[in-house]
């Protein structure tokens, strides 16, 4: 499922036309990872922290599109855990150590990188 939106971002300092591609990946095992038509300048990947299969699908998609993603100057991988039921805790306990695990798996970097080349 894919939606494309064109935004015009206007700030005090700049105006930018932005094309946003909203791509929702199916979770079932038979679905192929969707490819990118053109390399993105920025990428935001979102997975559902309460559903392990969504992180697995993000990893598969990144692997298939790896060469296209190298051009992205901004890369974010985010977990949506904002609306948890009251008293809810993940089955495996708090997510301590998760950021280091994500960095080891190549999904996140906490080190600054040069954007200028």
Instruction: Indicate whether 114 belongs to any domain.
Output: no
pTM: 0.53
Instruction: Indicate whether 111 belongs to any domain.
Output: no
Instruction: Indicate whether 109 belongs to any domain.
Output: no
Q: Looking at the 3D structure of the chain, how many domains does it have?
A: 1
Instruction: Indicate whether 98 belongs to any domain.
Output: yes
pLDDT of residue 89: 64
Contact of 103 with 70, CB cutoff 8 Å: no
Instruction: Indicate whether 21 belongs to any domain.
Output: yes
CA quadruple 65, 47, 56, 111: dihedral, nearest 10:
70
Print the domain residue range for 23.
2-104
pLDDT of residue 20: 79
Side-chain-facing half-sphere of 24: CA atoms under 13 Å: 4
pLDDT tens-place values along the chain, 117 residues long? 567 788 888 888 888 888 877 777 776 654 455 566 777 888 888 888 878 888 888 888 888 888 778 888 888 888 876 555 566 666 555 555 455 555 566 555 544 443 333
Instruction: Indicate whether 112 belongs to any domain.
Output: no
Instruction: Indicate whether 50 belongs to any domain.
Output: yes
């Amino acid at each position: 499922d894919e939606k494309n939106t064109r935004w015009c971002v206007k700030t005090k300092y700049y105006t930018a036309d932005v094309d946003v591609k909203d791509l929702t990946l199916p979770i079932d095992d038979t679905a192929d990872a969707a490819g990118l038509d053109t390399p993105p300048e920025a990428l935001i990947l979102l997975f559902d922290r309460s559903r392990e299969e969504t992180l697995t699908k993000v990893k598969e998609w990144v692997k298939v599109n790896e060469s296209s993603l190298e051009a992205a100057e901004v890369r974010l991988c985010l977990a949506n855990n904002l609306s948890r039921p009251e008293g809810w805790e993940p089955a495996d306990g708090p997510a301590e150590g998760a950021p280091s695990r994500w960095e080891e798996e190549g999904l996140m970097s906490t080190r600054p990188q040069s954007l200028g080349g």
